Structure 1
Amino acid sequence: MTNAPMRRDAAHNRQRIVDVARQLVDDDLPLQLNDVARLAGVGVATVYRHFPTPEALMETVATPGLEALITHAQRALTEEDPWKALTGFLHVTLEAQLTDPSLTAVRAAPRRVLPRTEELTAMLDSLAGQLLERTSAAGAVRDVVTWDDLLPLMCGIAFAANVHADDQQTRLASGRRYLEVVLQGLHS
């Protein structure tokens, strides 16, 4: 069974919904589907038809960020220096988490509701794991650390930077400092 292409007006409404959701997320406001409908100028049923839950909408908002991180991880795997590749990827990941709240929300969620999000997060975790394994094989990182260890640490760094700073620049500076502490502990 194939899905028919979306009508132009339906695609336009869907994009308006996503744009409104993006703004709400960026403004640190909750994604309540009734509010999204009102702000997007569409009926509540239209929002629910496209996004049955706030989680589905949040995951849709996060998709471009996840795709960008995957692209960066793929490029990092082609770098010659494994340590530089890993640290560069982690710095980009942290900056993305601190500038796109949807990424942290999706990565910290206990489960994914959209198959595409599950696919993207699995791919991102696989690539990040490869980066870490490659760095470990080169002797540049302690063997006891896995991506399953590092992922919650990255979420924790983003959380700490967000909690302890009021503005974007301070959050980024704090997050970079916290990441450097973790990287010093990883480096062998």
Structure 2
Amino acid sequence: MSVRADTSAAKPLRADAERNRRRIVDAARELFASRGIDITLDDVAAHAKVGVGTVYRRFSCKEELIDGVFEQRLVDMLENAERALAAEDPWDGLVQFLGDVCAGMALDRGLGDVVLGSDQGCHGIAQVRQRIDPFFAKIVERTRASGQLRPDIEVNDFYPILGMIGAAVEFSTSVDAQNWRRYFTVLLDGLRGDGVPLAELPGRPFTDAEVDVAKAALHRRRR
């Protein structure tokens, strides 16, 4: 007579493990969004209210956790790049893609770190980025060929440009989290190559008092 193994205890164990994994990923997502990826797995464990050992059993290093949180975000970015390349007007496609990236960075500080950072140890993110880069190169080449983008602008110029917007987001967030769009528009006008009229600036210049608030908040975040 065969004896069937009792698996009733294994199912709750697997369910608990999955719940813990979900809790860890959700906690990491919140911390990455507010503080960037320069946090520790101990920070994640504390925020998730689980033991540090639980985190290390699910993720052997922080890079694995970054992959788990951001790989899908980069897949979404790839889809945005595909739509931008298919846009009827090359300039509109470029602005659409850059605007989507910057809006994501404004909502999630960690995404900005991933976009502008290294893929070392983040194998899933690296694979998706290898698929995004050719699309973005084609977006830039098409816009330049149309005469709408300055002829001396290259693909790699956009990494410092995104860094500038990231700095504008960080500076503005304590006063008006959406006012980065004002400086985004200034940068776009500097990229135009066809002599079109300057775009109307969204947002507003900050008052002296608001500049002081923004400076103080920026100093606190960097201490």
Please, what TM-score do these two structures have when normalized by structure 2?
0.72
> Which of 94, 98, 120 does residue 112 from structure 1 map onto?
120
> Which of 14, 25, 35 does residue 43 from structure 2 map onto?
35
Q: Which residue of 2 aligns with 1:14?
A: 21
Q: 1:9 to 1:162 in 2, by over 3 A?
A: same
Report the alpha carbon displacement of residue 8 of structure 1 after superposing the two structures with TM: 4.2
Question: 2:109 and 2:72 mapped to 1: Cα distance?
Answer: 13
The superposition leaves residues 119-162 of structure 1 with CA deviations (integer Å, 9 ceiling, x where unpaired) of 12222222211111111111111222122111221122112221
Q: Does 1:163 align with 2:168?
A: no
Letter in 1 for 2:23: R
Tell me, yes or no, if the aligned pair for 2:27 and 2:47 is still in contact at 8 Å: yes
Question: 2:67 and 2:164 mapped to 1: Cα distance?
Answer: 20
Structure 2 unaligned segments of length 5 or more: list them.
Answer: 1-13, 194-223
The superposition leaves residues 54-103 of structure 1 with CA deviations (integer Å, 9 ceiling, x where unpaired) of 34323432223222211111111111111111111111111111111121
Question: 1:52 and 1:107 mapped to 2: Cα distance?
Answer: 23
Q: Which residue of 1 aligns with 2:162?
A: 154
Please, what TM-score do these two structures have when normalized by structure 1?
0.84
Structure-to-structure mapping, 1:139-150, within 5 angstroms:
139-150=147-158
> Which of 188, 191, 197 does residue 186 from structure 1 map onto?
191
Larger radius of gyration: 2
SS at match of 2:178: helix
Q: 1:147 to 1:11 in 2, by over 3 A?
A: farther
Q: Which residue of 2 aligns with 1:4?
A: none
Q: 1:166 to 1:59 in 2, by over 3 A?
A: farther
RMSD in angstroms over aligned alpha carbons?
2.0
Structure 1 unaligned segments of length 5 or more: list them.
Answer: 1-6
Question: 1:59 and 1:182 mapped to 2: Cα distance?
Answer: 31
Q: Does 1:88 align with 2:96?
A: yes
> Which of 103, 111, 121 does residue 103 from structure 1 map onto?
111
Runs of 4+, deviation exceeding 4 Å: none
The superposition leaves residues 26-73 of structure 1 with CA deviations (integer Å, 9 ceiling, x where unpaired) of 332753212322332433233123323334323432223222211111
